[in-house]
Amino acid sequence: MKTTPFTAKHIMLGAKMAEFAGYNMPISYSGINDEHNAVRKNAGVFDVSHMGEFILKGENALDLIQRVTSNDASKLTAGKIQYSCFTNDSGGIVDDLLVYCFKENSEYMLVVNAANIEKDWNWIMKHNSKGVEMENISDRTGLLAIQGPNATKILQPLTDMDILNLKYYTFTKGKFAGVDNVLISATGYTGAGGVEIYFEELQTGGQSNADKIWDAIFGAGAPEGIKPAGLGARDTLRLEMGFCLYGNDIDDTTSPLEAGLGWITKFTKDFTARPILEKQKSEGIKRKLVGFEMTDRGIPRHGYEIKDASGSHIGVVTSGTQSPSLNKAIGMGYVDVKDSMIDSEIFISVRDKLLKAKVVKLPFS
């Protein structure tokens, strides 16, 4: 298994470790519910250094991004970020990603999912017919997500950059915790506020940048009760917000329109799968990703069948959990469009029993 610059720290802290996307990652420290609530109410730190980062440079960099992504990256100016997805030749999703604009038209960073780094790189390369300079910096880039309502207040003393007033989906670069060239973005996967911090994993004066940044964050945050958090809480937090997880809620067979990502699918430009998705939009989709909450007692899990009152198959659960914040069982799944209206009654097949659930608006509340 691969490691991140923080793997030794996770183990030292007694984290429950497991393989994820080929990496040895922390699943939980003090418990998923405890870490989840720390992020919702205060602040928590996630090691997400397993994510992939690509730099695209050159006069045709924007053209390439426009070709392979569904959103309109021409709207980006320096310091802005955009959520987007790669679409394949059949209208499915190769991956979802963030596009960071360093220089308009000529320099960008794409942040992709860990399990898809090689697949995404090959997909972009396949369409790079105009000599755009591409660099995969994933293996030398560290990434921490400090999330929660008190995250920026805790971090601000560690930098001269104004992160307290950093607008959502923008970023800044500068010195943080004594480390130069650190990128801080007002992004995350929890819906709890906070930032993500990117840095080079270089040794400086005997101590790595990773150690410097980690130690500074927990030094500043200890009096405030900041906690390390694992992938378990990351999953429950994103699910409460209705955020898609690649490999569960979206994949090569799901279209952005089916997944409720029409808002990042712009037909004002040419991109892979545009004709297929335009046809879907005009003719209407047959299935739709919905959020639901259980009305009967039971927890929905990935892969469980969704049925109607007569027991007929109408869909499948893609994500499900017992919500720590809401204290109820919630999930997402694809259902036939006719069954996707808010308040529609659906049934989740749990160990050969049909348990009642109802379709609800996202995010969950």
Domains by residue range for the chain, with CATH? 7-48+139-238 (3.30.1360.120), 52-137 (3.30.70.1400), 248-360 (2.40.30.110)
Determine which helix (DSSP H) or strand (DSSP E) holds 230, and give its type and residue range: none
Q: Encoding tokens for residue 136?
A: 């995969």
Q: Encoding tokens for residue 144?
A: 């921490």
This prediction's pTM: 0.97
In 79-136, the DSSP E strands lie at 81-87, 93-103, 107-112, 133-136
Q: Do 17 and 24 form a contact (C-beta atoms < 8 A)?
A: yes
**pLDDT score recorded for residue 352:** 87
User: What is d(CA 160, CA 181) in angstroms, rounded to the nearest whole number?
Assistant: 13
Four-point Cα dihedral 118, 124, 127, 129, nearest 10: -100
**pLDDT score recorded for residue 204:** 58
**pLDDT score recorded for residue 207:** 81
Low-confidence ranges of the chain (pLDDT < 50): none
Residue 19, strand partner residues: 24
Q: Do 364 and 303 form a contact (C-beta atoms < 8 A)?
A: no
Phi-psi region of 352 (alpha: psi -120 to 50; beta: other; left: phi over 0): left
Q: Do 306 and 347 form a contact (C-beta atoms < 8 A)?
A: yes
Q: Encoding tokens for residue 178?
A: 């004594």
